Structures are given as structure tokens and as C-alpha cells.
Amino acid sequence: MNFVVNDFSRNYIKMTMERDDNKLIIGEVLEKTSLLLSPFAPYITEYLYRNFSKESVHLSSWPKADAKKINNKLELEFEKAFKIIERGLAERDKEGIGLKWPLKSADITANFYLNKKIHDIIKKQLNVKEIYFNKIDVEIAGNINVKLDKKISAELEAEGYARELSRQIQAFRKKLRLRKENKVETYIITDDKFKKILGGNENLLKERTNSKKIEFVTTGRERFKNITEFTIKDKKGEIAILY
């Protein structure tokens, strides 16, 4: 339960959504988990396993561990990283700051250090530009403290709007049944004020929505066939997609 719900679902899948091998690894985990759970949950595991094999899960061989892939040190580091991320997300929630909105930094106090590569994962999961690690030699409450810089500059606010807009564009792409690899032209119909706020984030919008073109317009709704409305806080407008 702890592995499937916490390590795998809440953490791993979120961290690897943009990786090309994500689906293959998720498939392997579901297959092996179905085999392990089959004596306790025979019906749901049979249903899941049929996606991977024509043979019944109850007639298949028990999975074998690959000792070469076990890295206890790395697992321990990620266990600590997950605790930092959990504490940081709780701080965001307490302050009412949505995860789509980037913050300048997070100060982390703990009685351990982590590999620099894991710092990048923490930054991405907490959506902060920088993290500062302060190691202390004494025990602190919960061993971890995360303090967020809650001041949101105009630049960070603009990026937050762009991230939320990209999420709504992605939702519209899905509604149009477009695949991830399908390149599109995206038009944002909005007023000049919001156009100015978003203007410096065109590359971010292109990258996150697989758009070969992003254009902000204030008129011309009648030009588009595929169009939908969006609302982000007090900002409103429409998204049009050509493909």
C-alpha cells in the first residue's frame, strides 16, 4: 500500500510525467504489482493483468527481484527528499499558494545533506527557483523545516499565469483528441493588459503545449473553429487551436 499509493502514485508518476519512458515503467510496475497482489485481490488484479498478458494472473510466474537494480543509498536519499517535498507542499497549502505559481526560493533546514541532483527534483516539485540547504547537527522537530519565500514578483506572477494557461490549453488539446506529438498553432484571445503580462512567456507556452506558434490577439474570434473560454483568477479570454 505504501509503495503503490505514496512512492509510486503520489511521487514517482508526478516526477516523471514528461519522460519518454514513463508509460513503459508504469506498465512494468502495474504488471508486477498485479502478480504480487493477486492472492489478496484476485478480481482487480486479473482485470489489470489482462492488459499485459493473455494468461491469467493466477497462472503466471511469481516475479523475481533483480538485485542489480537495488540501490539502498539512493532509496534512503529519496525517502528524505519526499519528506522535504511533503513539508514544502504543506507550507504552500497553509499559505494558500497554488503549485502552479512559482516562488523565488525555499530554505530547508535538516540534519542531513542530499545529492545536488536531488536538489533539482525538489525545486521542480515545489516549483521554486532556488533551494538553500542548511544542515544542523542537532535534532529538530520532524528533522525537517521548510520556509518558503512567499513574495511573488511581477515576473513570477506572469510565469504562474502562463503555467495555468498552458494547463488549460493542454486540457483543450485533450478535448480535441490531439496526441502529444501533434504540433499546433495556438491563439490567445484576450485584452491588451493580459497580453502584456503573458508576453515574456511565449517559449514556456510553446514548450508546454507543443505549439509551433503562440500568438496573442484581441479580436478575430470568428476566424477560429476550435475555440474555448478560459478564466485564471480575474483574467478571462479564449483559446483557439489550429491543426
Q: What is the pLDDT of residues 171-189, one digit of tens each?
A: 999 999 999 889 999 999 9
Cα 155–160–164 angle (5° rounding)?
Answer: 150
Any idea what the CATH number is for the domain that residue 178 is in? 3.30.2320
Q: Is residue 93 very low, low, confident or very high in pLDDT (cuts 50, 70, 90)?
A: very high
Q: Is residue 129 very low, low, confident or very high in pLDDT (cuts 50, 70, 90)?
A: very high
Computed over every residue of the chain, the mean pLDDT equals 90
Q: Are residues 168 and 238 in the same domain?
A: yes
Reply yes or no on whether the pLDDT at 201 is more than 70. Answer: yes
User: Which of 130, 128, 125 shows the shortest CA–CA distance to 11?
Assistant: 125
Share of the chain above pLDDT 90, in %: 65
Q: Are residues 138 and 164 in the same domain?
A: no
Give the residue from 127, 151, 175 where a domain finishes: 151
SS3 of residue 187 by DSSP: strand
The pTM score is 0.79
Q: How far apart are CA 40 and CA 42, in angstroms?
A: 6
Q: Are residues 141 and 216 in the same domain?
A: no
Reply yes or no on whether the pLDDT at 67 is more than 80. Answer: yes
Q: Are residues 75 and 7 in the same domain?
A: no
Q: Is residue 70 very low, low, confident or very high in pLDDT (cuts 50, 70, 90)?
A: very high
Reply yes or no on whether the pLDDT at 149 is more than 60. Answer: yes
Give the residue from 151, 184, 205 where a domain finishes: 151
- The full DSSP string for 211-234 is EEEEEEESS-GGG-SSEEEEEETT
> Mind listing the pLDDT tens digit for each residue in 25-59?
899 999 999 999 999 999 999 999 998 888 999 99
User: Which of 99, 100, 239 shows the shortest CA–CA distance to 175?
Assistant: 239
Reply yes or no on whether the pLDDT at 96 is more than 80. Answer: yes
Reply yes or no on whether the pLDDT at 62 is more than 60. Answer: yes
Q: Are residues 116 and 143 in the same domain?
A: yes
Reply yes or no on whether the pLDDT at 141 is more than 60. Answer: no
- The full DSSP string for 58-105 is GGSPPP---GGG--HHHHHHHHHHHHHHHHHHHHHHHHT--TTS-EEE
> By the 8 A CB rule, do 218 and 192 touch?
yes
Q: Are residues 114 and 166 in the same domain?
A: no
Q: Are residues 56 and 7 in the same domain?
A: yes
Reply yes or no on whether the pLDDT at 63 is more than 70. Answer: yes
Cα 145–150–155 angle (5° rounding)?
Answer: 135
Q: Are residues 159 and 234 in the same domain?
A: yes
Q: Are residues 122 and 136 in the same domain?
A: yes
Give the residue from 35, 65, 95 where a domain finishes: 65
pLDDT at site 108: 94
User: Which of 74, 78, 73, 103 shows the shortest CA–CA distance to 88?
Assistant: 103
Q: Are residues 234 and 163 in the same domain?
A: yes
Q: Which domain holds residue 125?
A: 71-151
Q: How far apart are CA 105 and CA 152, in angstroms?
A: 10
Note the residue count of the chain: 243
Q: Are residues 124 and 58 in the same domain?
A: no
Ranking 141-155, 163-177, 196-210, 228-242 by mean pLDDT, the lowest is 141-155
> By the 8 A CB rule, do 186 and 169 touch?
yes
> Mind listing the pLDDT tens digit for each residue in 11-24?
888 888 878 788 88
> By the 8 A CB rule, do 4 and 33 touch?
yes
Q: Are residues 76 and 140 in the same domain?
A: yes
Q: How far apart are CA 205 and CA 163, in angstroms?
A: 7
pLDDT at site 140: 59
Share of the chain above pLDDT 70, in %: 98
pLDDT at site 138: 63
Q: Is residue 142 very low, low, confident or very high in pLDDT (cuts 50, 70, 90)?
A: low
- Structural domain count, the chain: 3
